[in-house]
Amino acid sequence: MKDRLEIVASGFGGQGVVRLGQVLGEAAVKEGLRVTMLKSHGTEMRGGYVRSQVVLSPKTIDSPMCENPDFFVALSSAAYNRFKDTVPQEGLILFDPAFVEEIDAKLPCAQRELPAKQLALDNFGRVIFSNSIALGAMARLLEGQLKKEGILESLLEIIPKFHQENRDAFEIGYNYMN
Amino acid sequence: MKRFLETGNFAITEGAILAGCRFFCGYPITPATELAEAMSKRLPQEGGVYLQAEDECAAMHLCIGASLGGMKSMTATSGPGFILYADPYGWALGCEMPLVVVNSGRVGPVSGITGAPGQGEFYLTRYPTQGGNFECITLAPNSAQEAMAMVVEAFYLSERFRMPITVLVDQLITDGFEDITVPESEEEMRQMGFKTWPRAFCAGPDFYPFTDDLDIPPVQMGSGAGGMCSDWTPTVEGYDIEEVDAHHKHAYRLIYKVRNHRDMFNHLYEKKFMDDDPELVVVSYGTPSRVVNTAVDQARARGLKVGALRLINLWPFPDEHFARKAKYLAVELNWDGQLVREVQRAATKDAEVHFLGSCGDLPTIPDLLENFEKLLKNQPLTRKGWELEAW
């Protein structure tokens, strides 16, 4: 585990931006790590701007801000454009092309596409499972930092319904990142 | 002990329950709504009472009523609600009713921005009501875990001082998630340094002593002892009076019971790299202090003689920390500068005092480092195009 791992997720309210951070954070707590997660949002619960900033560390965390995120999950064009420049060269942006239309090819960091919305529609006929697909993808990207099983376990604890579908969605995301 | 990934709202709720709080009344407001929600779930499990009032003014009045009935009580709000506590806060101060008031700061003025942090109520927690003739105690933790501890501490102090205590947090603490450790027994509470004080009752015949004594139990209505607990000036026996001599005694008690017992809370601060006469002392409270701590670590790594002072007890203001001749930089979540004014008042005459503000977002580490360097090179501070030397 790195001394400090930063994960930012941002998009619209209702996409599961906060849930995503919460699941990863919960998995980290299970491994005995220290965790902070800031969430910022507008007045609206659905449709408004949302960002969660997760910091994981084996030590006490001072600043809870993700100034140079190791991972940035971009779920809207506005979010992508607002935070893309904070990702350092060794960082990675994971974006859903259904929401992020235009990619800045000049960025120094790695960028990977995850069509979570489309995969959810194709496999389940419902967009709601795209968040579990994104979590599966993050589980692959975080290998060596967080245990896959811990993330899945936290996901099933935090989202109490549709366990089989969420498991399947998680695996779809995990395998997509091959 | 149990570990959770939870919000500051959860941590504060659990802290209150551990401290013996069995009555909560509030009016929902972001970013303290989940606190009310958690209380509505937890209090009935503990045999307590949760009430939602028609507005904030009524909410705090109801909390005072519960306290007069013998229950430890708490209310929670954000800036736009805290200002509506002005009337009942004065009543609680004047009648010396123990109570805990949580204020989670968001961006102001007025409704401002709901889901982003601000520190606009620094002075409001010193003067939460009109009329003067009182001291206030305000505790400002910088994390969810510390918020739990400070709520327990606030209940403890509120009983011993017989007065309302404000816990000033911000949106990042109440809305933000953190790994939180909750003690599960009295032994574990002791291990975590949590102190509690049981509610006792004033047996009379006097309502209050004309002294600065602590540990005078509050009145319980219907117990046949003590005062009328109206909003007028009380006599020592507890009757309403409008005479200057009686008021003088009452004011003495409200001011000096706090001023003369600062040892009860003046240990609540944190210092970092302050033992080698730092040229620059960065002063902050609440969540900005967490970024300041990281920035000061990095400044030291660059060889800059910077230290950090984080205040947890804000009021009465701890003047004793500002006796050294140094440059002070107050870092706050507002653009107008509030803490900085108090630092300037408290600092020695030959100290230099500067201000760096932001609101809605925490300051960034590069921004802080740049400004530390500027100050150490005697250059003026600038930020967002504003000249901030003359704050």
Averaged over B79-87, what is the pLDDT? 98
Q: Which residues of A are less than 8 Å from B178 in CB distance?
A: 35-37, 64
DSSP, residue by residue, B113-130: EEEEE----HHHHHSSSS
Q: Which residues of B are less than 8 Å from A37 in CB distance?
A: 5, 176-178
At residue A45 the predicted structure's pLDDT band, cuts being 50, 70 and 90, is low
Bridge-based pairing of strands B280-284 and B306-311 is: parallel
Closest partner CB to A35 (pick from B115, B179, B287): B179
Q: Are residues B7 and B101 in the same domain?
A: yes
For chains A and B, count residue pairs whose Cβ atoms are closer than 8 Å.
67
What is the total count of domains within chain B?
A: 2
Report the interhelical angle of A163-176 vs A148-158 (nearest 10°). Answer: 150
Tokens coding B305: 């003689």
**Among B157, B174, B191, which residue terminates a domain?**
B191
Averaged over B208-227, what is the pLDDT? 88
Averaged over B49-66, what is the pLDDT? 98
Q: Is A26 on the interface with B (CB under 8 A)?
A: yes
At residue B115 the predicted structure's pLDDT band, cuts being 50, 70 and 90, is confident
B238 belongs to a structural domain:
no
Q: Are residues B185 and B273 in the same domain?
A: no
CA distance A52 to chain B (A): 9
Asked if A39 and B176 come within 8 Å (Cβ–Cβ), the reply is yes
Asked if A64 and B30 come within 8 Å (Cβ–Cβ), the reply is no
Averaged over B136-148, what is the pLDDT? 98
CA distance B133 to chain A (A): 39
Supply the pLDDT for residue A14.
Answer: 84
Predicted confidence (pLDDT) per residue in A77-129, tens digit = 999 999 999 999 999 999 999 999 999 999 999 999 999 999 999 999 999 99
Asked if A63 and B30 come within 8 Å (Cβ–Cβ), the reply is no
Domain holding B353, by residue range, is: 269-387
Residues making up chain A, counted from first to last: 178
B152 belongs to a structural domain:
yes
Q: Which residues of A are less than 8 Å from B6 in CB distance?
A: none
Burial environment of residue B276 by CB neighbours within 10 A (0 to 12, 13 to 18, 19 or more):
exposed
Asked if B179 and A64 come within 8 Å (Cβ–Cβ), the reply is no
Residue A78 CA, chain-centre distance (Å), reads 16
Asked if B287 and A42 come within 8 Å (Cβ–Cβ), the reply is no
What is the amino acid identity at position B152?
Answer: V
Instruction: Tell me the percentage of chain B whose pLDDT exceeds 70.
Output: 97
At residue A25 the predicted structure's pLDDT band, cuts being 50, 70 and 90, is very high
Asked if A64 and B290 come within 8 Å (Cβ–Cβ), the reply is yes
Asked if A67 and B366 come within 8 Å (Cβ–Cβ), the reply is yes
At residue A42 the predicted structure's pLDDT band, cuts being 50, 70 and 90, is low
Asked if B291 and A62 come within 8 Å (Cβ–Cβ), the reply is yes
Closest partner CB to B176 (pick from A26, A38, A63): A38
Q: Is the pLDDT of residue A6 over 60?
A: yes
What is the total count of domains within chain A?
A: 1
Q: Is the pLDDT of residue B388 over 60?
A: no
Tokens coding B331: 């870092």
Q: Which residues of B are less than 8 Å from A158 in CB distance?
A: none
Asked if B287 and A64 come within 8 Å (Cβ–Cβ), the reply is yes
Supply the pLDDT for residue A110.
Answer: 98
Averaged over B235-254, what is the pLDDT? 96
Asked if A64 and B176 come within 8 Å (Cβ–Cβ), the reply is yes
pTM: 0.95
Q: Is the pLDDT of residue B222 over 90?
A: no
Predicted confidence (pLDDT) per residue in B14-47, tens digit = 999 999 999 999 999 999 999 999 999 999 999 9
B357 belongs to a structural domain:
yes
Q: Are residues B187 and B278 in the same domain?
A: no
For A66, name the nearest residue in chain B, comparing CA atoms only. Answer: B364
Return the DSSP state at B234. B
For A67, name the nearest residue in chain B, comparing CA atoms only. Answer: B364
Supply the pLDDT for residue A38.
Answer: 93
Residue ranges of A 34-73 with Cβ closer than 8 A to chain B: 34-43, 61-65, 67
Asked if B30 and A67 come within 8 Å (Cβ–Cβ), the reply is no
- What's chain B's average pLDDT? 95
Domain holding A120, by residue range, is: 5-100+107-176
User: Nearest-CA neighbor of B257 among B206, B316, B201?
Assistant: B316
Q: Is A92 on the interface with B (CB under 8 A)?
A: no
Q: Are residues B96 and B184 in the same domain?
A: yes
At residue A47 the predicted structure's pLDDT band, cuts being 50, 70 and 90, is low
Q: What is the CATH number of the domain that holds A158?
A: 3.40.920.10
Predicted confidence (pLDDT) per residue in B334-362, tens digit = 999 999 999 999 998 889 999 999 999 89
Q: What is the CATH number of the domain that holds B314?
A: 3.40.50.920
Q: Is the pLDDT of residue B226 over 90?
A: no
Closest partner CB to A40 (pick from B116, B177, B293): B116
Q: Which residues of B are less than 8 Å from A39 in CB distance?
A: 115, 175-177
CA distance B22 to B385: 50
Averaged over B173-202, what is the pLDDT? 96
Supply the pLDDT for residue B275.
Answer: 93
CA distance B31 to B310: 23
> Tokens 């961006």 identify what position?
B107
Strand order in the sheet with A34-41: A110-113, A92-95, A71-74, A5-12, A49-57, A34-41, B177-182, B2-7
Q: When comparing pLDDT for B44 and B381, which is higher?
A: B44
Q: Please name every residue paired with B180 in a beta bridge, in sequence order, or none if there are none.
A: B4
Enter the ipTM.
0.91
CA distance A21 to chain B (A): 9
CA distance B290 to chain A (A): 5
CA distance B162 to chain A (A): 35
Asked if B177 and A37 come within 8 Å (Cβ–Cβ), the reply is yes
**Among B164, B191, B218, which residue terminates a domain?**
B191
DSSP, residue by residue, B22-65: -EEEE---TTTHHHHHHHHHHHHHTT-EEEE-SSHHHHHHHHHH
CA distance B261 to chain A (A): 31
Q: What angle do CA A163, A165, A171 make, to 5 degrees?
A: 105
For B287, name the nearest residue in chain A, comparing CA atoms only. Answer: A63
B9 belongs to a structural domain:
yes
CA distances from A74 to A148, A174, B254 (A): 21, 17, 54
At residue B381 the predicted structure's pLDDT band, cuts being 50, 70 and 90, is confident
Question: B1, B2, B5: best mutation site toward chain A, by most A Cβ within 10 Å?
Answer: B5
Q: Are residues B6 and B146 in the same domain?
A: yes
Q: Which residues of A are less than 8 Å from B4 in CB distance?
A: 29
**Among B134, B161, B191, which residue terminates a domain?**
B191
Tokens coding B36: 């009310």
Q: What is the CATH number of the domain that holds B35?
A: 3.40.50.970
Asked if A67 and B5 come within 8 Å (Cβ–Cβ), the reply is no
